Amino acid sequence: MLLLPLLIVGFGVCPIESENVPGTKPLKNRTLIRGTKKFLRSHKKIHLLMYSASIKDEIPTCISSKLLIENKEDDGFWRTLEADGNITADFGKPVKPIKTSTTKPPKMMKIFIRKNVTVYVGEVYPTLHVLPDEGTLPTFWDAGQTILHAAGQKCMILAAGSYNGDVNNPPCTLWGYHKEKKCEQKFKNLCGDGVSVDLSICDYLENEGDHQEQNQHKPSVSLC
């Protein structure tokens, strides 16, 4: 989901632009595309601010991204991708039928991601894809996402293009430089109630992830 996810979790010049984007008016498409590019072009740090309740525990608490350089050749944006938090251990597996009673809470696993990625914005449809420079991203993170809203100086709202839950009600994510009440209200209008991210805990989680990566000396994605 970032973002990203990143992104993202997912994110024409885009090499894998989705063909299943709902039909929207060309003028609105262009407005969303321009707003997204302006948002991604900023040197301000982008944070995950809110996400749909349907993906709670399936998306890390803290996801952020900083601009490295704008790639003029293919209109992509070279950015960092950092994610820290806990997700369910069975994330990405097929959804099982809901049981009437649960004997124990789902098993969780810690995730930290440190990668450089290129973010591509569609030129015809308002879509976004995220591709890692090296290695792979977690399940669904590199899938195309639909841009629902883009205010160049404030925030961006994405809807997942690939999800193993209700395909008619894809989860959304809200991204921004900092908390904005208008953006949160826009998210609720487009996607329903969401889970707000407490950014005050992200510095601690990011420092913990940095320390763990340095100690392990392993590739920048680690699930443990």
- pLDDT tens for each residue of 184-215: 999 999 999 999 999 998 987 777 655 565 55
Q: How far apart are the C-alpha atoms of 4 and 142, rounded to whole Å?
A: 9
Task: Specify the DSSP element, H or E, that contains 161.
Answer: none
- Using a 10 angstrom Cβ sphere, with 0-12 exposed, 13-18 middle and 19 or more buried, the burial of residue 19 is exposed
**pLDDT at 61 (0 to 100):** 87
Give the model confidence (pLDDT) of 95-104 as tens digits.
Answer: 444 444 455 6
Which residues does residue 145 pair with via DSSP β-bridges, in sequence order? Answer: 128, 160
Handedness of CA 201, 177, 150, 12 (dihedral sign): negative
Q: What is the pTM of this model?
A: 0.77
Distances in Å between the alpha carbon of 143 and those of 17, 96, 98, 161, 175? 10, 22, 26, 6, 17
Closest-CA residue to 133 (of 120, 115, 114): 115
pLDDT over 70 percentage in the chain: 70
- In CATH, the number for domain 26-223 is 2.40.128.20
| SS3 (DSSP) at 38 | helix
